[in-house]
Amino acid sequence: MTLPARAAQGGITTRELSLWYGDFQALKSVTLTLQHGLITSLIGPSGCGKTTLLRCFNRVNERYGYVTTRGEIKILDKNIYDEDVSLEELRRLVGMVFQRPNPLPLSVYENVVYGLRIHSPRRDLSKSRLDEAVERSLREVGLWDDLKDRLGARATGLQLEQQQKLCIARLLPMKPEVILMDEPCSALDVEGTRAIEELMWTLRGKYTIVIVTHNMAQARRASDECVFMLLGEIIEHRRTEDLFLHPRDPRTAEYIEGRYG
């Protein structure tokens, strides 16, 4: 497996990022560089802050109660905590996939074009442009052949695996820079998990993909780089192979051996 050329910019850089839920400090001075075009997995025991960190990247944390943040996160060389950053635009470019597939209660077609609809004035959306976006996005996630005759079917009635792929397809028409995945396979069976992991590999290179997972085998199989977190701190961030074969920190070693977590 060869790594794609590392873009000079792109990717995600955090500097001294700290975050508090009320008085509880969930992230402690996180400084991290995630390469553009790679798949980076965030691992660590429950409550270590990996999901919190993920949710910082599109600032959706701020909708979940009282949150204070300090430090900076740069995406496309822009600090997303700057005053002039629009949350709507940020979330257009930084998409999120959830643990439980959450297609909207609309048709397959409308799910895929939902992003275009909310981000473009109506006059810019011709039928042909929407149709093209649907076909391209569904092809990219490998759903086109299965669903091309059922575009009007309601998305919530699909199989879970198809729903999850649809949730990924939903992000693509907006041409995202980053795709965040919060345990995207934990509601799926073995086949579904394999399908999503394969899909991640096909998307690799075009997008910066960050995946939170509880499943160490998955992190090992499906990521280029791996970040191990504990109690809100980054313990180790290296190539996945190196982290699993030669962990530097004893806490990492104990975690990947399954002594705790």
Partner 1 sequence: MTTFAETPFVRARKRNELFAKLVFGAMAALLVTPLLSIVAYLVIQGAPLLSLDFLVSNPSNGMRAGGIWSALLGTIYLVTLSLLIAAPIGVLAAVYLNEYAEDNWFTRVINLAVVNLAGVPSIVHALFGLGAFVLAAGIGRSVLAASLTLSIMTLPVIIASTKEALSSVPRAFREACWNVGATRWQTIRGIVLPNSVSGILTGVILQVSRSAGETAPVMFTGAIFFRPIPEGDPFAYSIFDQCMALSMHLFSVTTQVNGAPPALPYATAVVLLGTVLAVNATAIGLRVYLRSRKKW
Residue 17: phi and psi, rounded to 5, are -85, 120
CB of 170 to partner 1, least distance (A): 7
**2 or 86: whose CB is closer to partner 1?**
86
Using a 10 angstrom Cβ sphere, with 0-12 exposed, 13-18 middle and 19 or more buried, the burial of residue 11 is buried
Residue 87 interacting with partner 1 (CB under 8 A): yes
User: Which residues 6+ apart lie within 8 Å of 64 measured at CB?
Assistant: 55
Residue of 37, 44, 103, 192 that binds partner 1 (CB under 8 A): 103
Q: Which two tokens stand for residue 117?
A: 């609809």
Residue 247 interacting with partner 1 (CB under 8 A): no
Residue 106 interacting with partner 1 (CB under 8 A): yes
Residue of 11, 44, 49, 115 that binds partner 1 (CB under 8 A): 115
- x/- mask, partner 1, residues 5-44, rule CB under 8 A, reads ----------------------------------------
Residue 165 interacting with partner 1 (CB under 8 A): no
| Segment lying near partner 1 (by CB under 8 A), choices 109-117, 133-141, 199-207, 210-218 | 109-117
Residue of 171, 195, 230, 235 that binds partner 1 (CB under 8 A): 171
Dihedral sign, Cα of residue 143, residue 148, residue 149, residue 155: positive
Question: Using CA atoms, how far apart are residues 89 and 177, in angstroms rounded to an integer?
Answer: 11
The alpha carbon of residue 37 and the mean position of all alpha carbons in its chain are separated, in whole angstroms, by 12
Question: Using CA atoms, how far apart are residues 215 and 227, in angstroms rounded to an integer?
Answer: 13
Q: Rounded to whole angstroms, what are the CA distances from 62 to 27, 58, 69, 104, 230?
A: 14, 9, 9, 22, 22
In the complex, the residues that contact partner 1 under the rule CB under 8 A are 58, 60, 63, 87-92, 95-96, 98, 100, 102-106, 114-115, 117-119, 154, 156, 167, 170-171, 174
